[in-house]
Copies of this chain bind each other. A is one copy, B any other.
C-alpha cells in the first residue's frame, strides 16, 4: 500500500511515493510554474516522476495528499490564497484528482510537515508532537492524541502569530510583537542589521560589508569569531525563541517539540542556550515528565511524507 505526497513550494514541486509507515519509497522535484492549470500539470508530472523513482505506478496509490502554502479549505480542497504562488480560490484537490484519477486531499504545509515528523521523524513512537519551522516566518503544526490538530476552522496552530512583545515589531499579520517577527530567520536578520547600524565597529561589518548580505548564519559566524555585538544579538534571539516555545509547551505539553529550518544547522550553538532558557521558562521545569525539545529530522521531505499520510491522520 502506498500514497502520493506532494510538497508545493514557491520554487519547486516535490513529489514522493510513501508507504503507510511514512517511509519515502522514491521522490522527484521539478520547478514550479505559474498559473493554476500549469501548477496542477506540474504536480501530476512530479507524481509520475516520483513513481518512476520508486518503481511504482501512481495509479496504484491509495490517494494523493498535497501540502500547500497559504490559506486553504481542506473540506473543499481549495487553495483560498497562496500569494507566493499567485493562487487564489483554486480547487486544486479536484484538479489533481482528475489528472491522477485518485482521491486527492489538501493540507496546510506546516501541518503536513508536522505530521511527517510525527510519523517517521522526530515524533516516531510518541503520541503527540508540535513542529516549529524557523524560516521566512515561523510555521507550526501539531499532532495531538495521534491526530492532526487544526482547530474547528482548520486555521489553528498559527503560533508564529502569538504576541510575545506586546506593542513590538510590526508583523505581516497586522499584529505588533508577534513571535514570528523575532524568532524567524527574517527576524534574526533584522535584529542583526539593527545591531550593525548601532555598532559601526562590530566585526559583523567585516563579515558582511553591506546590510543586504546579512543572512541567518551571519550572527553565528561573527559570535564564534568573538564579536560581542553578534553574541548579544544571538542572546536576545534565543530568549525570544525560548519565550515562544515555552508558551507553546505551557499550553500544549506535547511529548515532543521539534524545531526545523536553516538556523537549526547551528546544532548545539543554538540548542544549548535554548535548552538552558527553557529550563528557566517552562512551567513544568521541575516535572519529571517534560516535553522533549529536539531538531526536526526529515528536512524538506517532511511535507511530502506528511502530505501523503494526511488521509490516515485526520
Chain A residues near B (Cβ < 8 Å):
127-128, 144-145, 147, 149-159, 161-166, 173-175, 239-240, 243, 246-248, 250-255, 280-281, 283-284, 287, 289-291
Interface of chain A, helix or strand or loop or mixed?
loop
Q: Which chain B residues lie closer than 8 Å to A166 at the CB level?
A: 164-165, 239-240, 243
**The 7 residue pairs across chains A and B that have the minimum distance between CB atoms:** A151-B253, A156-B253, A162-B247, A153-B289, A158-B250, A152-B255, A158-B283
Query: Across the interface, do B163 and A252 meet the contact criterion of CB distance under 8 Å?
Result: no
Give CA–CA (A151, B145) in the complex, Å: 9
Q: What are the residues of chain B within 8 A of A253 when measuring CB–CB?
A: 150-156
Are the CB atoms of A163 and B127 closer together than 8 Å? Answer: no
Which among A158, A280, A290 has the highest number of chain B CB atoms within 10 Å? A158
Query: CB < 8 Å: which of B153, B281, B283 contacts A287?
Result: B153
Cα–Cα, bound, A128→B155 (Å): 14
* Residue contact A246 to B158, C-beta cutoff 8 Å: no
> Which residue of B has the minimal Cβ distance to A162?
B247
Q: Answer whether A290 and B157 are a contact pair too, CB < 8 Å, given A163-B243, A251-B251.
A: no
**A154, A161, A163: residue with the most chain B Cβ atoms closer than 10 Å:** A163
List 17 A-B residue pairs with CB atoms under 8 Å apart, sorted by A's residue number. Answer: A128-B152, A145-B147, A150-B253, A152-B253, A153-B289, A155-B253, A155-B289, A156-B250, A158-B250, A158-B251, A159-B250, A161-B283, A166-B239, A173-B283, A174-B280, A247-B247, A251-B251
